[in-house]
Amino acid sequence: MPTPQTAARPDDRRPLPPPDRPRSLRDTLAFYGVVAVLGAAYLGWGLVAILLSYVMPPRIGAPFGRKAIGIGFRRLLRLMEQADLVEFDLDGLDALRDARGLVVAPNHLSKIDVMLIVAHLPDTVCIMKAGLERNPAMGGGRLAGYIPNNAGLPVLRRAVEALRGGANLLVFPEGTRSPDGKVGPFHPGFALIARRARAPVQPVFIESNSPYLGKGWPIWRRPDFPLRYRIRLGEQVMVEGPAEAFAETLRRQCAEALGEARP
């Protein structure tokens, strides 16, 4: 089986500096302002998108919805930067600007991970937690044709169709956010999808200096600042052989790329 390798700059192995700014009223006001904008954007677009999903055929509505989400995420990330709450090192994602038909497989630290990837990856379909499609704030995902992970074969079929149609598929192999920042077990479903679609897998390595929006951290709980995020890419690889073995190999390499000791 081909082995994904890490494409890294010389300084990529250095840990991100921790949040080191003294707490201030300015940061607190900026933080809650950004949270308010984020909530309004999700709910506002979600309600509009639900209405559009009833009047736009999927062949038009889904690409339109995915493009709208990408634009919205880029603006929200820019707002966070302008508020001086976050520092991004996302240059590695530039290589995916024209990507088509990729299974993008990142480690999963926080809810921000989706924004970081979708803001830079064109025409992205996400596999999302079942039930979120009924949340009004997530109406954008419904319009965009995101796939609830509530049934095995329908998920596989829809994901393969999306990839063969030229969309990219974002799936977190861990299936949930890491409770401790370490890379958890990789479920083989993403590898089964990639093998069935004959689509390359793009490993993505996400690092952060904060547990903000990790498992159990509510959006309104203020973190220390500045938040820092760094993303690197591994080499694309085709799935050959058993999906379980591929998933475990990729998990080990992801952990190694992020500086974790192998078990």
Q: What is the pLDDT of residue 77?
A: 97
**Please, which pLDDT band fits residue 13 given cuts at 50, 70 and 90?**
low
CATH of domain 22-257: 3.40.1130
Residue entry with tokens 């190999």: 249
pLDDT (tens digit, 9 = 90+) per residue, 141-195? 999 999 988 867 889 999 999 999 999 999 999 999 999 999 999 999 999 999 9
Taking the C-alpha atoms of residue 241 and residue 244, their distance in angstroms, rounded to an integer, is 9
What are the φ/ψ torsions at residue 126 (nearest 5 degrees)?
-110, 145
- The first and second tokens of residue 20, run together, are 């080191």
Look at 76-90, 123-137, 210-224 and tell me which has the smallest mean pLDDT.
123-137
Task: Write the DSSP assignment of 177-193 as a string of letters.
Answer: --SSSS--PPPTHHHHH
For the chain, give me the number of helices (H) and strands (E)? 7, 8
Q: By C-alpha distance, which of 105, 118, 22, 107 is closest to 77?
A: 118
Res. 2: pLDDT tops 60: no
pLDDT (tens digit, 9 = 90+) per residue, 34-83? 999 999 999 999 999 999 999 999 999 999 999 999 999 999 999 999 99
Q: Give me the helix-helix angle, 25-55 and 58-82, nearest 10°.
A: 170
Q: By C-alpha distance, which of 13, 9, 181 is closest to 92?
A: 9
Letter string b/e over residues 7-40, b meaning 16 or more CB atoms within 10 A of that residue's CB: eeeeebeeeeeeeeeeeeeebeebbeebeeebee
Q: Give me the helix-helix angle, 152-164 and 189-197, nearest 10°.
A: 40
Helix (H) or strand (E) holding 95: none
What residues contact 60, with CB distance under 8 A and at least 6 apart?
Answer: none
